[in-house]
Amino acid sequence: MQPFQSGSDKQDDPLTGSESAAPPGRGNLLLEAMPIDAGPLALEHTTLEAGQVLHAPGELISDVYFVETGIIFILGSDGAGWHLEIGTIGFEGMTGFELLLGGKVAAHEALVQSAGSALRLSAAALREATTRSRSLNNLLLRFAHAFMIQTSHAAIAAGRASLEVRLARTLLMWQDRAREERWCVTHDFLAMLLGVYRPSATLAIQHLEGKRLIRAARNSIRILDRAGLERVANGFYGGPEEAYRSLFREGGGGTAGRSVAALNAPAKLLISPAAERPGHPVGSEPLAVTRSGLANPRANARRRTFPR
């Protein structure tokens, strides 16, 4: 696989395998690949705020989000405060695909870590569209399959890989979706993603920094050597990425490049801030931390404020 070359004019996208110009500011690959027979979609543009919980485990999924910019982590939990990253979603995907599999409630928490934007579609509209268009349903099911491959690799890495390897994998997957070199993230949050205590996460960061693969600063990590991180990941990175490349090589009906306006026509593109959505309150409570240093989901069901 051609490595992501930050700062270059041309780059081979790790998730699509295609050479493209400098990363665009917006765009969701699933929407760009959407088949013609999908018809009009009542998409609503919305802002993704850091700490926003889009879906909580066991709650009905009222909307799905096609991410344009920003990063969403899918977190598994034991219900007692321990979390573990089991999936990452960016501009290549969508949340709430449980609906595609016949489910109605979220299996895991979908947490916005890096702020950005998304196009929101109601659960009812998604069901109607996938019933109307078999090719759309197949496209989204292929994404769900690729995401399942990602979660299975996350489980294998959690059980078999060292913490340093898992951190390298997490950094690579973040950069695939953020398409940037610098990640604004705290050691506390990385510890939560990796399911470890903060000192262990800090030690793993120091090991990668000692190899001159990254540079850590207060609340941020800069990737210096992506190829080196891929070597450290040692096979625990790459499988899900090939599944995503296969998905977008197959395409969804030859509509790449269709604009959001075209996808919505003749439906009107509604713009509604997330804070105004009923049932999606945006709180300001601080993120409760257990004695283990890990976030407690019981403290706030809808929003997290990351420690500084």
Give yes or no for a contact between 264 and 31, defined as CB atoms under 8 angstroms apart.
no
**DSSP 8-state code for residue 293:** S
Distance CA 37, CA 253 (A): 8
Choose among 130, 173, 124, 113: nearest CA to 30: 130
What's the pLDDT at 10?
42
pLDDT tens for 107-151 read: 999 999 999 999 999 999 999 999 999 999 999 999 999 999 999
Distance CA 42, CA 152 (A): 33
144 in the same domain as 131:
yes
70 in the same domain as 198:
no
Query: Could you tell me the pLDDT band of residue 37, with boundaries at 50, 70 and 90?
Result: confident
Q: What percent of the chain stands above pLDDT 90?
A: 61
What's the pLDDT at 25?
46
Residue 289 within any structural domain of the chain: yes
72 in the same domain as 124:
yes
Span 221-239, mean pLDDT?
Answer: 94
270 in the same domain as 125:
yes
152 in the same domain as 167:
no
Query: Could you tell me the pLDDT band of residue 240, with boundaries at 50, 70 and 90?
Result: confident
Max CA distance (Å), the chain: 56
Residue 195 within any structural domain of the chain: yes
What are 133's two structure tokens?
Answer: 């268009």
Query: CATH number of the domain that 120 lies in?
Result: 2.60.120.10
Span 252-275, mean pLDDT?
Answer: 39
103 in the same domain as 184:
no
Residue 298 within any structural domain of the chain: no
Report whether pLDDT(46) > 80: yes
Query: CATH number of the domain that 215 lies in?
Result: 1.10.10.10
188 in the same domain as 46:
no
Give yes or no for a contact between 54 and 95, defined as CB atoms under 8 angstroms apart.
yes
Distance CA 137, CA 28 (A): 17
Distance CA 40, CA 129 (A): 8
Amino acid code (one letter) for 105: V
Span 242-262, mean pLDDT?
Answer: 60
276 in the same domain as 147:
yes
219 in the same domain as 88:
no
Distance CA 139, CA 160 (A): 32
Report whether pLDDT(166) > 90: yes
Residue 100 within any structural domain of the chain: yes
pLDDT tens for 167-220 read: 999 999 999 998 889 999 999 999 999 999 999 999 999 999 999 999 999 899
What's the pLDDT at 256?
41
Residue 184 within any structural domain of the chain: yes
Span 46-62, mean pLDDT?
Answer: 96
Residue 241 within any structural domain of the chain: no
261 in the same domain as 282:
yes
Lowest-confidence pick of 32-46, 129-143, 163-177, 256-270: 256-270
Cis preceding linkage at 266, omega within 30? yes
Answer whether 0.85 is exceeded by the pTM. Answer: no
56 in the same domain as 180:
no
pLDDT tens for 57-69 read: 999 999 999 999 9
Q: Which of 189, 206, 235 is the last residue of a domain?
A: 235
What's the pLDDT at 278?
37
Domain extent, residue 217, equals: 162-235
Number of domains in the chain: 2
**DSSP 8-state code for residue 94:** B
Distance CA 26, CA 146 (A): 22
Lowest-confidence pick of 6-10, 36-40, 60-64, 94-98: 6-10
Query: Could you tell me the pLDDT band of residue 248, with boundaries at 50, 70 and 90?
Result: confident
Residue 15 within any structural domain of the chain: no
What are 304's two structure tokens?
Answer: 């997290």
Residue 154 within any structural domain of the chain: yes
Distance CA 154, CA 161 (A): 10
201 in the same domain as 181:
yes
Amino acid code (one letter) for 67: V
Q: Which residue has the tokens 């903060």?
A: 198
